[in-house]
A and B are shown apart, each in its own frame.
Chain A
């Protein structure tokens, strides 16, 4: 029997996190013109900061001795607290969330420095790509930072304590609640980016993106704008990292490699850049492709014994890359086009002129 509820929950969780990441990249590159090929760095840093902070906070807040978070005993301790102590768990969750956003902002500020320093913008892309790789290596081999190869485990769902409270004792309840929260944050990020980009600031971003020289001759502080957009984009990516590490339970560098950054770029290009709805659609499409091929292959194997799996698992990657190539050749602007900046003034103006609201077929 196919577990539709479980499938939808896991789909929604991954989709929400990927959508936030795509929105952040879209803000940085689609609107801001900063090619961030190291988005996985901010995502991963948010995740690791969360993991380290939570592991220590859970012990501090329950008045226990701080110990090495990489040991089994501390892992078991963390999980026990998560299932029994709602207030401590939620407090740790909230604090680590705020911290990871702040850390993301700081990192974004630091990352904007090369943007101002290098002459050509693709150098920024290279620097960020390389910085992300350095992050992975340092956290993977340094046991004091990230518990080494296996990462930091035991970051349980912040609502696991609900299981003992409900009569049916089902693990679905915490999942349901947490998936709803992920969707909530996705919606918030969407609203934030929409408001940010459909405003004079959005117009500013686009002008800096399209022709920074002209903008600066008109008196706009190009450097400040680029820094600002990097800060916002990076905080959003770190937020996604915080949400993600609580969902999967472990912060491991394997999840934050440059291959993953490439996936986010695919989602953004697919959906159409400089278009927030497009970003969400792109994330939806790729998540759907991933999860449907996976569940399709398991279903086929379960009900048709003797089906060869190897070809299926490889063909997912082949399909993805082929799809991307076809899209790039035939529809390089993505599924959805870049729209007009709908500031409140413009909306009023278009209403007044009798045009359709939300007219989107510009450029």
Chain B
């Protein structure tokens, strides 16, 4: 009777891995520069397109594609920060101005990709990567991409955990807790913030890269995932890594295993799947708004941003 469960769990774990990689960058952004970056999803699209282009010339060359996606998405993230966000943060803009700016950046990036894709005839295309089943668990195939995604997700989580103890990691934590004080202590905040953007954009790009063998690459690829990514980050209390890991797991399992359960036992059609992340957001925000792991100092820093919002 429960033979659907194992396969469902496998798929949930894969999705959780993807969500982790694409959301952890947003958590970083929120923690360090307090910016709810709605353009984060576009880094995913850029990563997917980079993989598409790279595999045209080097088919099935996953390492190369991943590295290229990481670098290009990270680069675009830094450029976006320097050109659009830094001036706004410098003049201490309110939260909603930043949100709107990130919407504008997202639209700009998305339609640039549209134009380039339309010229290059790549409005919807498939990267040349073979998806090969490696082993079968209770009828559900564990493919090379699933395993790689899991590996990368675990590696990213571990890396970021130990990153906290490096010099740059510590600088980021200092900036996240109190930027002015960090600067006064002699920390090179510019450099730390730039590294943060490379990481945030790069990880999102790698996530997009891992999605692309399954999902055909279109310019709206990242945009379709935007609200789910925010859901993941909200579960995690916005700025905590553990929280984001938890959030990704919740999201992956809710969209797959929970939906399978509802479909099999209550005949709920799969077309209602998008309702799950949204309902979860509402429930979390109404019951436990701080999510599952908000650290005290960061919540206070976020409040600072809001107070600035109110005293215009």
Binding site for B on A (CB under 8 A): 29, 33, 35, 114, 117-123, 126-127, 129-131, 133-134, 137-138, 141, 209-211, 258, 262, 265-266, 269, 310-311, 314-315, 317-318, 320-322, 324-325, 328-329, 332-333, 363
Contacts and interface: CB of A to CB of B under 8 A. Distances in A.
Contacts of B234: 126
Given A141-B271, A266-B100, A318-B112, A209 B285 contact: no
B279 interface: yes
Contacts of A134: 275, 278-279, 282
A311 B286 contact: no
B132 interface: no
Contact of A310 (B110, B115, B303): B115
A328 B97 contact: yes
B306 A121 contact: yes
Given A269-B97, A325-B108, A114 B310 contact: no
Contacts of B95: 122
Interface in B242-289: 269, 271-272, 274-275, 278-279, 281-282, 285-286, 289
A37 to B, nearest CB: 9
Contacts of A322: 104, 108
A325 B272 contact: no
A36 B32 CA distance: 26
A325 B104 contact: yes
Given A114-B286, A209-B310, A211-B310, A133 B278 contact: yes
Contacts of B278: 130-131, 133-134, 137
A328 B104 CA distance: 10
B111 interface: yes
A33 B302 CA distance: 17
A318 B101 contact: no
Given A126-B234, A127-B281, A325-B108, 15 more contacts: A29-B96, A114-B282, A134-B275, A134-B279, A137-B272, A137-B274, A137-B278, A141-B269, A317-B111, A321-B104, A328-B88, A328-B93, A329-B88, A332-B88, A332-B93
A210 B274 CA distance: 36
B105 interface: yes
B14 interface: no
A232 to B, nearest CB: 21
Question: Does more than half of chain A's interface fall in helix, strand or loop, or is it mixed?
Answer: helix
B161 to A, nearest CB: 27
Given A127-B285, A318-B111, A141 B272 contact: yes
B93 A321 contact: no
B34 to A, nearest CB: 11
Contacts of B87: 329
B310 A325 contact: no
A130 B108 contact: no
Nearest to B109: A321
B112 A262 contact: no
B158 to A, nearest CB: 30
B114 A269 contact: no
Going nearest first, the 9 A-B pairs with the smallest beta carbon separation are A321-B107, A321-B108, A321-B104, A324-B104, A317-B111, A130-B278, A325-B104, A130-B281, A123-B285
Contacts of A315: 111, 115
Interface of B: 84, 87-88, 91, 93, 95-97, 100-101, 103-108, 110-112, 114-115, 118, 227, 230, 234, 269, 271-272, 274-275, 278-279, 281-282, 285-286, 289, 302-303, 306, 310-312
Contacts of B281: 126-127, 130
A324 B111 contact: no
Contacts of B286: 114, 117-118, 127
Nearest to A328: B101
6 contacts: A123-B285, A131-B278, A137-B274, A265-B100, A314-B114, A314-B115
Contacts of A117: 286
A254 to B, nearest CB: 14
A324 B100 contact: yes
B115 A311 contact: yes
Contacts of B282: 114, 127, 130-131, 134
A223 to B, nearest CB: 16
Nearest to B234: A126
Contacts of A133: 227, 274, 278
A328 B100 contact: yes
A134 B312 CA distance: 33
A310 B115 CA distance: 8
A315 B285 CA distance: 37
A314 B97 contact: no
A126 B230 contact: yes
A140 to B, nearest CB: 9
A138 B103 CA distance: 25
A262 B274 contact: no
A137 B118 CA distance: 29
Contact of B101 (A127, A320, A325): A325
